Structure 1
Amino acid sequence: MSHLNALTICGVRLFSPEENQKVLFSTPVTLFLGQNGCGKTTIIECIRYALTGEIPAGTNNGQGFLNDPDMTHVSITKGNVKLKYTDNIGNVITVSRFMQVQKKADGKMQFKSLNVNIRKHAPDGETNDISGRCVDADNFCCNSLGVSKSILNNVLFCHQENSYWPLDEPKKLKEKFDEIFEAVKYNKYIDFVRKDIKNRQLNIKVEYFVVNSYLCQNCGYLNLVLISASICDKNDKTSNFFKAYVKRGNVNVCLVKSYLALMLQCQFCTIIRLHFF
């Protein structure tokens, strides 16, 4: 079972940019207790940001997520979040995200996500560093926890200002459930399966028509051979040749008929699946 081990925060909101502050998590429950403004929500936001890369709402695109450069009279403030957790197969994962807020010449603030580092410690002692784009890091964290990104954002680490979505109006509630259960991806996959089944069914029909035409043509040839054999004398060697040819032809016809029956069975299965979907 996956669980969180420790969180290190530096330069995020009220946390100092000069030193790392570490939070250890207990199992199975960790309780945060403190006065308003002491950083309880910030801890949840940092966990969510480390796992999903999602910037908290109400931070003006991340500008308010880090320390304000004006407070320290600098042009750039940097911060980082490091989360250590155990995934669903026992690996210890450490994900580190680095970001900065820069004050432009026109006085505007700009938030920028920097590099993401992921280190995996296997139970056998092997250590691997995983590098990649932020999107790959997000997918890696969600997959290693065994939880989708939408559940992390809307259920497990939902911001307190957005935690009342179950009481929202029906339309927005449906949209939220569709996001959590990834209904859009499911519908897209169903459409893809339907199109694929239709294409396969069309290919089977075309192939069935070709093979059936070949069968009818060969049956016609065999009938001509039978007529020719009946005209010839019974003791004639030509008649024996015709009979052997007809015998081999009948075997081929049986094989082709079996193939056609199999094709009809496959076509029936595709029709059933198409009707089911």
Structure 2
Amino acid sequence: RERPLPQSRVRQDLLENGMTSIEKLSIRGIRSYSPNSAQVIQFDKPLTLIVGKNGCGKTTVIEAMKMACTGDLPPNCKSGQAFINDPSLHDQTEVKAQIRLKFTSLIGQPVVCVRSFSLTQKATKKEYKAFESALQTFDSAGNKQCLSYKCADLNKLVPEMMGVSQAVLESVIFVHQEESCWPLSEDKVLKEKFDAIFASTKFTKALDEINKYKKAKKTEEKVLNAEFGQLDEALHSVNKLRTEETAGKTALNETNGLIAKRRDEIEGLRGRLTPLLQTRSQKAQLKQSERELEMEHRAAMGQRSTAKA
């Protein structure tokens, strides 16, 4: 006969392999469990067997663990009214129930999940209520920390801390005996179950998102290619203008050189023109002197003719 493994050894193996484990369950006021005192179940490692007669509460243990982990009510419990101990059995108008589940998270952190309920007897009906849930954890110093959560938030948080999807908890680990034959269901239901368990829907959505992303990027690529073509044409025009600008600058430089050359020639001509203008002026003066002398000569000749007469 094999000796059971020490608890410390099993716990160390679970931590090293990155597994979560359920340590303890406390049930009060659920189904046939008394609302006046809590029944505590300690889960041994590596295996705990729950054995008992029909109707002794074996299924209720599974239902309580499933409720603590996922927040799901078991089937056929009249919206929670049949899940809580009947107040009329105790001559009371209200029964308060609670489930406390202690487990070791995926990272080896001890966690206690607390869910509280009530069933109130009204005049014509019974009213089921689920209160805000609590999550107790311990920091690195060993101090207890307790936070309140809405049920919907805790339903997502606990499976994440356990490292197990909600679908696996609901349909595999804590599957109810009334729902345990789902592998024999019709094709549509079976596909939905397997899609949820293996998270294939997420992969399908991820592939759809990838395809949408690829299409969007292809559209962007087409737009960018069109813009690139326009930019290429604009660049070609700019290069052409730059070539024309260079040619214009070269022609301008040549023209400026020609203008400078012509200016030098003009300056040379101006230098030759100055003496000519001086000669012209002297020639004009000489002609004026000649006219004056001719006039004097004519006047003298006139006086001479008068004197002879």
What TM-score comes out, normalization by structure 2 length?
0.71
Segments of 5+ residues of structure 2 without an aligned counterpart are 1-18, 256-309
**Aligned in 2, Cα 1:233/1:150: closer, same or farther, shift over 3 Å?**
closer
Q: 1:88 to 1:124 in 2, by over 3 A?
A: farther
1:193-212 CA distance string (max 9 Å, x none):
33233223323322332233
Q: Percent identity?
A: 33
- Whether the aligned pair in 1 keeps the contact of 2:26 and 2:101 (CA below 8 Å) is yes
The answer to whether the aligner puts 1:56 opposite 2:74 as a matched pair is yes
The 5 A counterparts of 1:22-171 are: 22-106=40-124, 108-122=125-139, 124-171=141-188
Q: CA shift at 1:222, angstroms?
A: 1.2
Summarize the alignment of residues 232-251 of structure 1 with structure 2, pairs less than 5 Å apart. 233=250, 236=253
What RMSD in Å do the two structures reach over aligned CA positions? Answer: 2.2
CA distance in 1, matches of 2:158, 2:241: 72
Q: Is the 8 A contact 2:101 2:114 kept in 1?
A: yes
Q: What are structure 1's unaligned runs of at least 5 residues? A: 239-277
| Residue number in structure 1 paired with 2:272 | none
Describe the SS at the equivalent of 2:113: strand
Greater CA radius of gyration, 1 or 2?
Answer: 2
Pairwise CA distance, 1:227 = 4.1
CA distance in 2 between counterparts of 1:128 and 1:215 reads 64
Distance 1:72 1:233 in 2: 111
> Aligned equivalents of 1:206 and 1:127: distance in 2?
58
Conserved 8 A contact 1:84-1:94: yes
- Distance in 2 (CA, whole Å) between partners of 1:89 and 1:83 is 17
CA contact under 8 A between 1:90 and 1:123: conserved in structure 2? no
The within-5 A match list for 1:117-266 is 117-122=134-139, 124-230=141-247, 233=250, 236=253
In 2, Cα distance between equivalents of 1:25 and 1:194? 47
Q: Quick check: 1:91–1:123 contact (8 Å CA) kept in 2?
A: no
Q: Displacement of 1:181 after TM fit?
A: 2.3
1:8 and 1:140 mapped to 2: Cα distance?
A: 20
Q: Secondary structure at the match of 1:229?
A: helix
Q: 1:219 to 1:237 in 2, by over 3 A?
A: farther
- Per the TM alignment, residue 123 of structure 1 is displaced from its structure 2 partner at its CA by 5.2
Q: Is the 8 A contact 2:87 2:94 kept in 1?
A: yes
Relative distance call for 1:232 and 1:11 in structure 2 (3 A) is closer
**CA distance, structure 1, for counterparts of residue 159 and residue 199 of structure 2:** 14
CA distance in 1: counterparts of 2:128 and 2:202, whole angstroms? 31
Aligned residues: 237
Q: Deviations over 1:155-194 (max 9, x none)?
A: 0010111111112333322222122223334333333333
